[in-house]
Every structure is written in structure tokens, then in C-alpha cells.
Amino acid sequence: MPVEQVDMGGYTLIENASLANRNTLRVAARATLLAEIRDASKLPELLDFPAVRNGRLLVLGEGSNVLFTGDFDGTVLAMETRGVQVESDGDSARIAVAAGERWDDFVRWTLGHGYAGLENLILIPGTVGAAPIQNIGAYGCEVAEFIESVEAWDIRECRVVTLDHATCAFAYRDSLFKHEPGRYIVTAVRFVLPRSRPLRTDYAGINEQLARMGVDKPAPFHVAEAVVHLRTSKLPDPAVIGNAGSFFKNPIIDAALADALKREHPGLAVWPQPDGRCKVSAAWMIEAAGFKGIREGDAGISNRHALVLVNHGKATGPQLWALAEQVMHGVRDKFGVMLESEPVVIGAR
């Protein structure tokens, strides 16, 4: 079927668009309408078209944290805006970054310009605009720590809003944006980054990797290099095999339950949380339940990392979700803990 494509100046509209190359699990899906947005100031005009205003909306960055279980009957807004604005006072900088910038490019830019803080978050796929949605985190850091505010188009109020750090209600893989899905289109994120700060090297593997690199007085770029090494050795590359990173969140459970599980399963990794509860390793439980490396058709669990659901080729969204549910039920039956998916599942469950 021929695909209609129209450049509207600031955004391009594509009818009946394929999303297969717009999600890193590489699932085939289509959107009734796709809007590639290069100028966020055009959002009000676009959102006022009756077909857009009266239909469903989905904001998409690089699609590295979504699972489509069907076509999207509505408008997909693909954020492709660019721009970085810096106000520096010497010791730190306030940096406003457009939602469509690539996260990893921005991290490398900060390191190249001598700002500290984001080194542990290098190589996470996706856009800057998506970073606050699940409060991306890795190797002992979460992005929330560096976010001063988030600028968004508020669909309910029909206006631009600036949401300060507290309003964003950041938590582990969570934020206001997950609790009010469909309300905000993030257009920019404002970060505050210092020139220097104590490095975080205590997450398992970083100090050992720095030692292997022969570094005894690490700078932020050394930590970044160590994290790149650890990530590439552990996680499958979406360019090689479709995946969305961790498909399951590490569950946060009561300390008493965590103690009981640890007594029965001494190998289980348990991370105490500031609120007294404990985060436990979903990967360990999935592996112990026998799911690491399993494959059903083209849907599988990576043999490199038990948290990663993989598409070996032509798996459909429903096939991948069926395998994810099988894993969740298996872990629940063995450990009494129900896992939750980290990526957003779009379509029927």
C-alpha cells in the first residue's frame, strides 16, 4: 500500500507508517499516523488537527523501552528535536537539552566539555526526552539526581509546563510521567552538572575494571570507559539481536521477605533501600528458575543476561509477551515474587 508522506515544516506526517525500525525489539507494527517532530513549537498546531485531537497518542523516542503487541490505532509522535543550551557559572552548568537528542551523545558531550556526573549512565540507548520517564539508571546512579526540571507540553491543560524536580516524583524506574500516562509530551530536560564531584565506583565490577585498566586515580572518563566495558560484555547489542535491555524490573520487597528468600537462596543479590525495603535481583531469580537462554520460536531470554527478552528474528509482540508472562509466572511459583515488565507494553496484554 503506498504510504502518504507530507512535510508540514517543523514536522512530517506519514500515513500507515511502519514502526518495525522504530523499536529495538524489532517487532513489526504500524501506526495509523506518524508525526516526526523537528520543531516542538509546532506541537499545538499538530495536536489541533481533528484526527490527532480526537484519537489516541503515543510519544516515541528510539523505541528502546517499548513492546508493541499490535498496531497502534492513533498518532505516534516521534521526537526528533535537537539542541543543547548551556549556562555556565564556572563550577557547574545548567544545560537544557531538546527531547530528541540521543542520550549517549549527550553523555559523551558532557564528558568532552569537562562536566561530571553522567559517566555511569553512558551507553544507555534512547533519547534525552525519555530519560526522566523511567528515571534511567545504571551502575549506582540515576538520572534524577542531575535533573533540575522537565519542560513538557501538557495535553490536559493545553500549555507548556515546567515541572520541577520534586513534582517529577522520581523513584526507581518510576516518575510522575508513568503515573499520568498520555498527559505530558516532554520537550526538553534541564540538567545541573558540576565540574567535579566524588566518583561512584562501588557498583560491582567498576573498581575491578579500573584496576584492569591500570587506573588508580580515576577521572570521570575512566569510569565511563569502565562502564562501557562492563555493559558491552554483559548486555546483548540491539543492532545484533532485538532487545529492550532489562525486560523486568528488580522487585522491591519487604525486608522480612528478602531475609527469608536470602536464607533459602544464599546466592540471591539483595540491595537494601533507603526506605528500609530491599531490591532483589530479578536476573538471579529468572536464571535460578531455569529461564536463562530459553527459546520458543523466535522469542527468547538472552543466554548472556537473564533479564533480557530477545527477538531472534521474526517474533511477534504477542509471542514475546507470552514468553515474558511465562517467566513472570515461573518466578512467582518458585519465589513468591511477581515480576513487573520495565518496557511499556503497547497494545493488548
Binding span for ligand FAD by CB under 6 A among 30-38, 41-49, 126-134, 258-266: 126-134
What residues make contact with ligand EPU under the rule CB under 6 A? 138-139, 204, 234, 245-246, 249-250, 269, 281, 283-284, 287, 292, 305-307, 342
**Considering the complex, what minimum distance in angstroms separates the CB of residue 200 from ligand EPU?**
11
The C-alpha cell that represents 162 in the structure block: 515546567
Nearest to 170 by CA among 128, 202, 131, 124: 131
Residue closer to ligand EPU, measured from CB, 13 or 261:
261
**Is residue 306 within the footprint of ligand FAD (CB under 6 A)?**
no
Per the annotation, the verdict on 45 as an active-site residue is: no
**Is residue 242 within the footprint of ligand FAD (CB under 6 A)?**
no
Nearest to 166 by CA among 147, 140, 193: 147
**Is residue 344 within the footprint of ligand FAD (CB under 6 A)?**
yes
Local structure of residue 174 (DSSP, 8 states): B
CA 101 – CA 48 distance, rounded (Å): 25
Residue type for 125, please? P
**Is residue 238 within the footprint of ligand FAD (CB under 6 A)?**
yes
**Is residue 324 within the footprint of ligand FAD (CB under 6 A)?**
no
Site mask, ligand FAD, residues 131-150, x = CB under 6 A? x-xx-xxx------------
**Is residue 185 within the footprint of ligand FAD (CB under 6 A)?**
yes
How far, CA to CA in Å, does 277 sit from each of 173, 253, 259? Answer: 16, 6, 11
Q: Which H or E element spans position 140? A: none
Q: Which of 26, 30, 173, 190 is catalytic?
A: 173
What are the helix (H) ranges across 168-219?
176-179, 206-212
What are the helix (H) ranges across the chain?
43-47, 50-53, 103-112, 176-179, 206-212, 220-234, 255-264, 282-288, 317-335
Residue list 52-111, contact with ligand FAD (CB under 6 A): 58-66, 79, 99
Q: Is residue 70 a contact partner of residue 110, using CB atoms and an 8 Å limit?
A: no
Name the site residues for ligand FAD (rule: CB under 6 A): 24, 58-66, 79, 99, 124-127, 129-131, 133-134, 136-138, 184-186, 235, 238, 243-245, 344
Q: Which residues are the active-site residues?
A: 173, 246, 342
